[in-house]
Amino acid sequence: MTNPIISQSMADFGLPGVIIELDPDEAEAWGAFEETAITEQDAIDSEIDIELSVEVAE
C-alpha cells in the first residue's frame, strides 16, 4: 500500500492517490457538504398514527 499524496490545490482534484485538504469554508464553497436533514416540524408533520394489534397467548 502506498502513502497518499496530500495536496491543498483543487487543481489536483481527481488525480488517483491524491487527497485534497481544504478548510471547512473552502470545502463548503466547493459543494463538499449537502444538508439532507429534515426540520423538526417536518418530522412532526410526518408522524403517522399506527394502531398496533398484539395477540396474547392464553
**Residues 9-54 pLDDT 10s:** 889 988 999 999 988 888 888 888 777 888 888 887 777 665 556 6
Entry pTM: 0.44
CA angle centred on 54, ends 49 and 58, rounded to 5° = 160
What is d(CA 28, CA 42) in angstroms, rounded to the nearest whole number? 25
Cα–Cα distance, 7 to 13 (Å, whole number): 9
Residue, of 2 and 14, whose pLDDT is higher: 14
What is d(CA 9, CA 19) in angstroms, rounded to the nearest whole number?
A: 10
At 7, the pLDDT band (50, 70, 90 cuts) reads very high
Q: Higher model confidence: residue 12 or residue 57?
A: 12
